[in-house]
Structure 1
């Protein structure tokens, strides 16, 4: 049995979530993938997956072995990539994740510029508005907004974003500016369907507090909520990058700046590894420069 090939097959099965999907990714047949996995499990003397007719899931032993396989294969990849890097060539697969709107506005353009410089690379950019487990989902680099709780990640801060209350000039015309967050209790506020449950967070002299807001409009996506705010349909609460263009053009104006929560850090993160593939190391440095705020 080719142990390295078997390990790579095992990692591919874990990443793709099924034997048939792994076979397609590897350009192999399903019986060949099944035989390779069976031979690896026999060699190790443990079961790596629990398999039923409908799903496949890693066992506890499989999760531990998966991390070891990733590290070993990454080290081999690093050794090969280092040779190519000497010739100025990066290659292989790069997988990146970021929040949806931030990814569309800032990460995707930076990725596109990076790919134009390295025509031997392949890249997948996955945009999610959820915290992604980089190791479990086979992702090389993530862009995170907010405090990091996972100590297994290496993080490079690139800036910070503010949580801001804003309104259009039409909304503010003919009325006094809110002097305190409680003034929003009687205002028309644009809702965003999220875990906040209709409460906007503020800080005053180091004390955090929430204000329940209400209004005629609610959205489950940021972009139309921003559009509604620009159109004069009420006050909105957004991250600064989501409205940067409207602020610069004067279509939105900040209010209650003295009560804004502590800015959220923006970081480029990747799983801790003794050796990083050259493509990951170079890409991380590229993104640190591209996203510097």
Structure 2
């Protein structure tokens, strides 16, 4: 029997939730799908589905085998797509999402250069500060900051960033440099509306993660004016390291409380796991991994 075809039919049945639905999607007859599943189960020596007259559900063995089949089929699709991509120029419509400020600073310029290199391509980039379901919203790929919980996505690492507390050298001279997060309570802390207004975190000490109470007389509903207020000496701010990287490098802002930071967070480019990648998507992933600023493993 054709094992790859049998795997494809098995996965389609699991996705469709019925033998009839799988047959319809495959453009095949119901008896042919039933025979393929029966032969595949016999070859494996295991039952993959519980079947009744009204419903079909995966067995425990079926659930475990489904994930392995998805990986194998995705690998085959990716190998074929990679071969085709080597001989074809990217065309069509590429849709990308990324966090707003990171997208403005690091993703949008890369997208622009990529489209200029491939004029037959159209690209839409959505900058959103929320986690987007790529499949539900019809997007090809996304940039994510933080640990990933969606196992249906493939992630390729672009680097790491830190969560840092910063202030201007002048502010720190006037008000003192905090040596422990508890000392933030006596500083003016410039905050972002939507984040916690009364606490900052998370910090760590001796393996314990904790937050601290903060106060301040300035709040903004966007990151960039909050960064600018800190750069003007209005107080201390807490940001992702990429958001203040240039100002820190120019010594307009200084990082404090480094010993209490949590481990760096990953930055990843993500795309759906079990879907054939068009040449345009694969080409952008390769391009972005070369062009987007590579953040060091320690986030510095």
Structure 1 length-normalised TM = 0.70
Q: Give the structure 1 partner of residue 168 of structure 2.
A: 168
Q: Give the structure 1 partner of residue 262 of structure 2.
A: 261
SS in 2 for 1:173: helix
Q: Is the 8 A contact 2:89 2:279 kept in 1?
A: no
1:223 Cα deviation from its structure 2 partner:
0.3
Q: Is the 8 A contact 2:190 2:217 kept in 1?
A: yes
Q: Is the 8 A contact 2:81 2:279 kept in 1?
A: no
Structure 1: unaligned runs, 5 residues or longer: 1-39, 44-74
- Deviation string 1:114-166 (CA, Å, 9 cap, x unpaired) is 11110100100000000000000001010000110111000001101110000
Q: Aligned partners of 2:282, 2:225: CA distance in 1, in Å?
A: 36
- Deviation string 1:83-141 (CA, Å, 9 cap, x unpaired) is 6x455421011000000000000000111111111010010000000000000000101
> Where has structure 1 moved over 6 Å in runs of 4 or more?
78-82
1:79 Cα deviation from its structure 2 partner:
8.2
1:177 Cα deviation from its structure 2 partner:
1.4
SS in 2 for 1:114: helix
Q: Aligned partners of 1:131, 1:94: CA distance in 2, in Å?
A: 19
Q: Aligned partners of 1:241, 1:82: CA distance in 2, in Å?
A: 36
Q: Aligned partners of 2:178, 2:190: CA distance in 1, in Å?
A: 16
SS in 1 for 2:245: helix
Structure 2: unaligned runs, 5 residues or longer: 1-23, 28-75, 296-300
Provide the alpha-carbon RMSD of the alignment. Answer: 2.6
Q: Give the structure 2 partner of residue 117 of structure 1.
A: 117
Q: Give the structure 2 partner of residue 214 of structure 1.
A: 215
Q: Give the structure 2 partner of residue 132 of structure 1.
A: 132
Q: Is the 8 A contact 2:141 2:281 kept in 1?
A: yes
Q: Give the structure 2 partner of residue 63 of structure 1.
A: none
Q: Give the structure 1 partner of residue 199 of structure 2.
A: 199
